Structure 1
Amino acid sequence: MSALPEPRFLDERTAHWAKTKPDAEAITFLERTWTWSQWYDRIRHLAGALADRGVGRGDVIAFLDKNHPACAETVLAAASLGAATAIINFRLAADEMDYVLNDCGAKLLIVGTELKPGIEKIRDKLPNVEHLIELTPDGKDGDEYEAMLAAATPVDRSPDVEPDDVCIIMYSSGTTGRPKGVSLTQANLIAHTVNAFDGWEMDADDKNLVAMPLFHVGGTSYMQLGLHEGIASYMTRDVDGAQLAAGILAGANRTFLVPAVLAKVLEIGPDAVKLFSALKTYGYGASPMPLPLLRQALEAWPDTDFIQAYGLTEVGGVISLLAPEDHRNGNEERMVSAGRLVPGAEVRVVDPDTLEDVKQGEQGELWFRTKQLMKGYHNKPEATAEAITEDGWFRTGDIGRVDEDGYIFVEDRLKDMIITGGENVYSIEVERVLAEHPAIAEVAVIGIPDEKWGEAVKAVVALEGDATEADIIAFARERLAGYKCPKTVDILDELPRNPTGKILKKDLRQPHWENAGRKV
């Protein structure tokens, strides 16, 4: 990591690089490249444009698009005014989009051209949104965002801004059926960048391949690496083979992706494998890497450093890392662990019933304490109090253990959650929607093993009318983001229940997981 002093504000390093190497490449996206001075100038103009529209400390603006450097510009510009950017998942269905935009209270919305028609359909349901700014992928004539920057007078960081001001709100699926906004401060993001990338030796000609969706903490937090270290970033609009290949051919040699992408590269064949051998580091996370796939990857790319990241949005991203040497020392038990804590973090393994620490090596709920920990859930003090203890421990809902050398093993979930392709899906959120189907009498949603996505969403239903598996899946797709919809549906006469009437999800899960060699 850089030897420069740790910054207090999110825009400090970008300002530093604009001053010390103004003409060096900062970001490349599609056909456009900006130097550090050009990019920092855009941030200052955007801050001026936002201030002109009444955005100030404590306000929220929203960003809705596929990957675009304007998202990072917006986060830094808004943060310099003390405002937060709610980065919205563009895959959400209309009902979900309506909810999160109103919940975050955004007074200004920047929306991509491809997604604007969906916003126009619900525009009358967004009374808080005073300004709607359209953004195009290529920034050509007619781009309202570019016109707004061009017309603005640049402003510096507001004097009343504090490091503890919330700068990002990211929505995660909710245990009560609605998403919760995770509020991360400038101090949280800076601590994460310093801790998660501790020990990385960056060369001046390194280039960061930013391909994970920016609405995901794995995208936005990884983007901070290049900004902090002053290395160029190559951003893709989508995670697809052609765009990833273009980034590597343009010199990108470090990246973070979900394991499913790696599996696809291996499927494509020798040419793709050879191309990806240019990567110095391949960080992966957000879903488990099956051991057979990891073995294949280590053999295919002997000179690449593999780094597994385990974390949660609530801690800004990464809380533990499995280092490159742990991938190649022959200890396969350690290879399926989540590695060891990042600097400055603490872990407890707690009995979820007694709230007492368990003995070393025994299973319990994983609790973490770190400067990376969110300020709380946006406008949800009760949910925040349930998740964070009075002395600052975050209760993850993940069941695991820690061995004698500090390696963390994540082995089950206390929370009723599915992770598919790096996206969190709470069963209750899907059940809430399916329960509205007129033919469904009762429903349970579970995660089942999937070699590509880690887990797949399955619905198990009992009917009181006529419906097919295809009918039920189509019903869900009209109301939920695609990744939340069940891929398969089992129809039973009745669902198994315990004597108190609770559906026995463990019995529904058991046949699917008994030979999987893992529980999550």
Structure 2
Amino acid sequence: MLRPGGADLTIAGGVREFGRATPDVIAVRDGDRELKYGALDERSSRIACALLAHGFSYGDRVALLCGNRLEYPEIAAGIAKAGLVLVPVNPRLTAPEVDFILGHSGARALIVDPALAGAVPDGFPGRVVHLGPEYEAWLGTARSVDPWIAVDERDPFCIAYTAGTTGDPKGVLVSHRSRSLTFYATALEWGIGPGRRTIAVAPMYHGAGFAFAYAAVYCGATVSMLRSFQPDALLDMIQRDGAQSVFLVPTHAQVIRSFFEKVPAAPTLDTLYFNAAALPKVLKEWVFEAFPGVGVHELYGSTEAGVITNLRPPDARRKAGTVGHPWFGTQVRVVGPDGAPVGPGQPGELYSRSPYLMNGYHENPAATAACTTGDGFLTSGDIVIRDEEGFISIVDRVKDVIITGGVNVYPRDVEEVLLTHPAVAECAVVGEPDERWGERVVAYYVGRSPVDAGDLEGFLRSRLAGFKVPKQYRTVAALPRNAAGKILKRELRSTP
């Protein structure tokens, strides 16, 4: 009996489809290396067969420790074809941190860039394969026939470890169905499909970086690998490869702004989409001016929830400061401290329900239960406000709200104003312990030019209520960030 809906979705699906339909179209570019769809399909089948020949069985975990490079998509597709689970590892981690991920995930094999061999923990009991000659020899001895292992689309294709901004590593179980649907929606929303070209700018070991780079090979487009972010290298790659849709995080835009007096023209570029952190209004206005005629999207989501909202180009200026409406197939709920829904204009915690949600945290049912509801909603951990038209604004992280003298201060309110000062390039506002007020408001900032704390205070006092004005201003050379570009406020709070 045929099951309604046909075959299960799997992240290897697009590679298989375009390996047959357009075998001679370039799928991946990496410097002077190119990989066509036919070769991508064949090489990923070899990876699958090599792993199965080594005795791996359905659901076993395979870790991948490398940056953005040509092999990333073929390895991900090969692991999926074998019915195994990918464990992407941040190449910036130390050996003890990698050891935790390998142990917690139960990874039985590790594929690693030789340049990162020092991060491989001593005593790892699984198979280690180094990219380069060893990897090529490994593939060369494997069968090139697709094993077609049956995969349940609701099973995880990966365990993505995220410390977020809390510092506690948790393994996010992301299903084939979740990411496959994300890829299709990405093609619809940002034009990632046959005949289109994009660039893997954000690191692929991170949830968003993987989703928006791998979407290209899933949907028949071409993706160019940017191994490390340099603003001039990115603009050169956009021009050289004719990129049309590019995903960035706000930090990328900030660095480009600092690097170029005038951004070189990018005639093929028609779509930019931003994620990972709020795009400050002043920076967003600069993006409009630096990339004239380019449609700018601002989306919001997480590894756990996938994409939750998107602010589309027609409303990008009119509703700057918001992250738009719920994305395809997504329901949101905004609730107050008592769990009851709040009305327009009222702050509340955002929950979402969609086909993109994680399956839960690997071997951490308590953490999963703490962030989900009985009817299938997942908390974002963010305080938001929804206006009368349904546009959502991120006010702040629940844990970052500052309570000073019994009054709530939302750091982003202060940051948005502070960023309009011409001497401030970047900033972050945090709460620190205070004997009198409980918490005091403290601003950390990266200067564009020298400025006195008294000048900053006077600037803010004319624009903000007195209780929101920081009690201290601290200059830093750079703000600490995680792989997604999110500011690690916990590290600022611990700064002496």
- TM interval, shorter chain, is 0.7 to 0.9
1:22-33 equivalences under 5 Å are: 22-33=23-34
Aligned-residue offset at 1:226: 1.1
Query: Which ranges in structure 1 are unaligned for 5 or more consecutive residues?
Result: 419-445, 461-494
Cα pair 2:202 2:209 within 8 Å, conserved: yes
Stretch of structure 1 that moved more, 53-62 or 450-459: 450-459
Aligned-residue offset at 1:47: 0.5
CA deviation vs aligned residue, 1:252-283 (integer Å, no higher than 9, x gap) = 22210112222332333356x12445411111
Identify the match of residue 507 of structure 1 among 440, 452, 457.
440
Note if 1:374 corresponds to 2:364. Answer: no
CA deviation vs aligned residue, 1:133-169 (integer Å, no higher than 9, x gap) = 111xxx4xxx221221111113424444211111111
Q: Which amino acid aligns with 2:280?
A: P
- Aligned residue in 1 for 2:35: 34
CA separation in 2, counterparts of 1:299 and 1:109? 45
- Aligned residue in 2 for 1:319: 308
How many residues of Structure 1 are paired with residues of Structure 2 in the alignment?
432
Q: 1:46/1:349 Cα in 2 relative to 1: closer, same or farther (>3 Å)?
A: same
Q: 1:59/1:511 Cα in 2 relative to 1: closer, same or farther (>3 Å)?
A: closer
Cα pair 2:431 2:440 within 8 Å, conserved: no
CA separation in 1, counterparts of 2:82 and 2:116? 27
1:103-502 equivalences under 5 Å are: 103-119=104-120, 122-124=121-123, 126=124, 129-135=125-131, 139=132, 143-173=133-163, 177-201=167-191, 204-248=194-238, 249-269=240-260, 273-316=263-306, 318-328=307-317, 331=318, 334-351=319-336, 353-415=337-399, 495-496=433-434
Q: Which amino acid aligns with 2:327?
A: V
CA separation in 2, counterparts of 1:183 and 1:355? 26
Aligned-residue offset at 1:335: 0.9
Aligned-residue offset at 1:75: 1.8
CA separation in 2, counterparts of 1:300 and 1:238? 22
CA separation in 2, counterparts of 1:22 and 1:154? 15
CA deviation vs aligned residue, 1:359-403 (integer Å, no higher than 9, x gap) = 233111000000100001011111111111121100111000212
Cα pair 2:193 2:220 within 8 Å, conserved: no
CA separation in 2, counterparts of 1:417 and 1:117? 39
Cα pair 1:287 1:453 within 8 Å, conserved: no
Q: Which amino acid aligns with 2:122?
A: R
Q: 1:265/1:275 Cα in 2 relative to 1: closer, same or farther (>3 Å)?
A: farther
TM-score (structure 2 length as normaliser): 0.79
- Aligned residue in 2 for 1:436: none
CA separation in 2, counterparts of 1:254 and 1:7? 28
- Aligned residue in 2 for 1:465: none
Q: 1:395/1:44 Cα in 2 relative to 1: closer, same or farther (>3 Å)?
A: same
Aligned-residue offset at 1:199: 4.1
Secondary structure of residue in 1 paired with 2:388: coil
Secondary structure of residue in 2 paired with 1:115: helix
Cα pair 1:289 1:454 within 8 Å, conserved: no
Q: 1:415/1:190 Cα in 2 relative to 1: closer, same or farther (>3 Å)?
A: farther
Cα pair 2:430 2:441 within 8 Å, conserved: no
Q: 1:203/1:68 Cα in 2 relative to 1: closer, same or farther (>3 Å)?
A: closer
- Aligned residue in 2 for 1:54: 55
Cα pair 1:210 1:223 within 8 Å, conserved: yes
Q: 1:356/1:233 Cα in 2 relative to 1: closer, same or farther (>3 Å)?
A: same
Stretch of structure 1 that moved more, 81-90 or 202-211: 202-211
Q: 1:361/1:155 Cα in 2 relative to 1: closer, same or farther (>3 Å)?
A: farther
Q: 1:250/1:510 Cα in 2 relative to 1: closer, same or farther (>3 Å)?
A: closer
Aligned-residue offset at 1:453: 8.9
Stretch of structure 1 that moved more, 387-396 or 170-179: 170-179
CA deviation vs aligned residue, 1:3-49 (integer Å, no higher than 9, x gap) = xx997221122111111111111111122101110111111011011
Secondary structure of residue in 2 paired with 1:307: strand
Higher relative contact order (CA 8 A, sep 6+): 1
Q: 1:55/1:229 Cα in 2 relative to 1: closer, same or farther (>3 Å)?
A: same
CA separation in 2, counterparts of 1:399 and 1:60? 35
CA separation in 1, counterparts of 2:273 and 2:333? 25
Aligned-residue offset at 1:90: 1.3
CA separation in 1, counterparts of 2:208 and 2:174? 14
Percent identity for Structure 1 against Structure 2: 29
